[in-house]
Amino acid sequence: MKLRNRWLAGIVAFVAIAAGGFALFAHQPEIAAAPPGTNDFSAAQIARGERLARTGDCAVCHTAPGGVRNAGGGRFDTPFGLIVSSNLTPDRATGIGAWPYAAFERAMRHGVDREGRHLYPAFPYTSFTRLNDEDMRALYAYLMTQAPVHSVPPPSELKFPFNLRILMAGWNLLFLDRTPWKPDAARSAQWNRGAYLVQSAGHCTACHSPRNAFGAERGGADLFAGGGVVDGWHVPALNTASRAPIAWNADDLYDYLRTGYSARHGVAAGPMAPVVEQLSMLPEDDVRAIAVYVASFAPLNMGTTADLAQREVTLGVLSDGVMAARAQTGAALFGGACAGCHRVNDAPVLFGVRPGLAFNTNLYADSPDNVLRVLLGGIGHAATRDLGYMPAFRYNFNDAQLAALANYLRTDIAGQPAWTDVAAAAARIRSETAP
Ligand code: HEC
Ligand code: HEC
Ligand code: HEC
């Protein structure tokens, strides 16, 4: 045997042994089907589970657009391919109806389904793993007592090698932190309640923390540092990297998370709207706790309460577009098409809210994308009913006009340096969002 072939044989043998060892380590047994009994759950448990399901946005991801609630088919475009959410109703053939608690718990804590297949972390089990036992059982009780729906969602389409689910065992080894959640004794009970909800069911960091090359959330100083893109929306930072012109505090966060609107910040739109829709149905105390926890990450050096009050007045004046009299395309468009609904300091509010645009974090972001998405598509489905709607301007403005308008908002209303290539971005988003 030539040396080269001996080498090759050695390498092949080594790879085979390593792969075999990995497969042995990664192998997860099937858990036998064993549907729970109908009397296994108390009413209190089911109610508690429903609150956790809302905190965890289960239905937001497990419902196809226009489809039956929790029957699966939600689509997630990731850099690794398309992942489709599964049927989460207790249908025995096509949902999780045949799953005993042990199987549900393994999926939520280890990311492995009842049959032993590894799940992809587009399903945020990396956060759900921190749910305590009582909450995990309540969630199971709630899901198992909903109406079963027979539905087989289309298969996921991942690119090779990511279509090999077994690889997720290695991913979990590297990135799944299964340390049970522990309170921080130095903090208040309310802060800890918020921390628990956010880090477990709430999975806020799934969107608000940046991810590494393997798609795992970054922690440490990058916790809540934003920067990810979800459905084409840039997710803002909630920590000291926040671009909000007034630092978020617990009261403003409470308003925003509870109603979808804070007068000092604006509205929750895009992928944040369904999150708020769910949070608006939670007990006040839970939302208050989440607000207190998240506020503890915000920058603290933005001035005294008096400074901020002064800034609020200034931003209100800027929002009114006092420059609108100038014969500049963007200003003229704003005066005609937007000021009627977005002027802060005059005119009665006819319906909904009146978001002052100088307060909107998106105008301070590096990318104009979120603003362009709202201008092209409007806000047809408000986070909560009382916010009102924002009309779409897709057919009213061409890309050059959208660019002029967006940069007017950016430079004159928010006082930031102009964005570049805005018309090209408008053209791209227009085609991505074509009806
Ligand atoms: C961000 C979107 C998202 C959220 C939020 C979400 N899921 Fe999922 N879930 C998914 C996706 C996608 C899959 C499929 C993953 C795969 O195929 O590997 C999935 C799979 C599952 C599975 C495995 C089901 C099966 O048949 O294999 C369970 C159980 C599950 N989710 C429970 C929940 C619960 C309970 C909640 C709420 C507390 C929840 N999910 C919230 C996206 C989500
Ligand atoms: C599915 C992804 C997603 C999840 C999950 C998510 N967010 Fe968001 N969040 C966004 C996006 C996108 C925006 C920008 C919305 C806009 O501009 O209208 C946003 C905006 C925000 C803002 C406003 C920031 C600013 O400066 O304007 C706050 C506060 C916030 N989210 C808090 C939370 C909290 C708390 C949670 C968990 C309970 C959470 N988010 C979960 C995507 C998400
Ligand atoms: C008919 C009233 C109306 C008009 C006209 C209008 N808006 Fe709005 N706009 C709203 C309302 C109401 C909201 C909040 C809606 C919600 O969140 O449900 C909003 C939200 C927004 C947001 C916040 C989106 C976010 O993600 O935070 C921006 C930016 C915005 N409008 C810009 C504009 C611009 C620019 C124009 C002019 C081209 C305009 N609007 C015209 C009513 C209007």
At residue 1, the pLDDT reads 44
d(CA 423, CA 182): 49
At residue 244, the pLDDT reads 95
Phi first, then psi: give them for residue 383, nearest 5 degrees: -60, -40
* Mean pLDDT confidence for 287-298: 97
CA 362 to centroid of ligand 2, rounded, Å: 12
Q: What is the pLDDT of residues 30-58, one digit of tens each?
A: 999 999 987 889 999 999 999 999 999 99
Rg (CA), the chain: 24
Number of H helices, E strands in the chain: 18, 7
Ligand 2 atom closest to the Cα of residue 279 is 38
DSSP-derived 3-state class of residue 92: coil
- Of 261, 342, 353, 411, the one to substitute when testing ligand 3's pocket (max ligand atoms within 8 A of C-beta) is 342
Is residue 368 reached through a cis peptide bond, with omega within 30 degrees of 0 on the bond before it?
A: no
d(CA 179, CA 327): 60
Q: Residue 291 above 50 pLDDT?
A: yes
Ligand number with the minimum distance to the CA of 171: 1
Helical (H) or strand (E) element with 310: helix 305-319
* Mean pLDDT confidence for 240-266: 95
Is residue 183 reached through a cis peptide bond, with omega within 30 degrees of 0 on the bond before it?
A: no
At residue 11, the pLDDT reads 63
At residue 37, the pLDDT reads 87
Q: What is the DSSP letter of 84?
A: E
Helical (H) or strand (E) element with 371: helix 369-377
Q: What is the pLDDT of residues 87-142, one digit of tens each?
A: 999 999 999 999 999 999 999 999 999 999 999 999 999 999 999 999 999 999 99
Helical (H) or strand (E) element with 81: strand 81-84
Q: Residue 15 above 70 pLDDT?
A: no
Ligand number with the minimum distance to the CA of 232: 2
Q: Residue 340 above 90 pLDDT?
A: no
Q: What is the pLDDT of residues 412-433, one digit of tens each?
A: 999 999 999 999 999 999 999 9
Token look-up 């207790």 returns: 90
Ligand number with the minimum distance to the CA of 97: 1
Confidence of residue 350 (pLDDT cuts 50, 70, 90): low
What distances in angstroms separate CA 56 from CA 8, 169, 196, one per listed residue? 50, 24, 12
At residue 10, the pLDDT reads 59
Cα 295 from chain centroid (whole Å): 18
At residue 371, the pLDDT reads 98
Contact residues of ligand 3, CB 6 A cut-off: 260, 266-267, 269-270, 337-338, 340-342, 352-353, 355, 357, 360, 362, 370-371, 374-375, 379, 382, 387-391, 393, 405, 409
Q: Residue 263 above 60 pLDDT?
A: yes
* Mean pLDDT confidence for 226-251: 94
Confidence of residue 357 (pLDDT cuts 50, 70, 90): very high
Q: Residue 27 above 80 pLDDT?
A: yes
* Mean pLDDT confidence for 392-406: 96
- Of 76, 127, 208, the one to substitute when testing ligand 2's pocket (max ligand atoms within 8 A of C-beta) is 208
Q: What is the pLDDT of residues 321-337, one digit of tens each?
A: 765 556 688 988 998 89
Q: What is the DSSP letter of 363?
A: G
Domains of the chain, earliest start first: 22-175 (1.10.760), 189-295 (1.10.760), 305-432 (1.10.760.10)
* Mean pLDDT confidence for 394-422: 96
Residue of minimum CA distance from atom 19 in ligand 2? 272
- Rounded to the nearest integer, the mean pLDDT of the chain is 91
DSSP-derived 3-state class of residue 352: coil
At residue 25, the pLDDT reads 74
Contact residues of ligand 2, CB 6 A cut-off: 198, 202-204, 206-208, 230, 233, 235-236, 238, 242, 244, 248, 253, 256-257, 265, 268-272, 275, 290, 294, 361-362, 370
* Mean pLDDT confidence for 282-293: 97
Ligand number with the minimum distance to the CA of 202: 2
- Of 60, 62, 94, 137, the one to substitute when testing ligand 1's pocket (max ligand atoms within 8 A of C-beta) is 62
CA 322 to centroid of ligand 3, rounded, Å: 18
At residue 406, the pLDDT reads 97
* Mean pLDDT confidence for 303-307: 85
Tell which wins on pLDDT, 4 or 288.
288
* Mean pLDDT confidence for 174-202: 96
Cβ distance 388 to 365 under 8 Å? no
Other CB atoms within 10 A of residue 119 CB:
18
Cβ distance 26 to 92 under 8 Å? no
d(CA 403, CA 405): 5
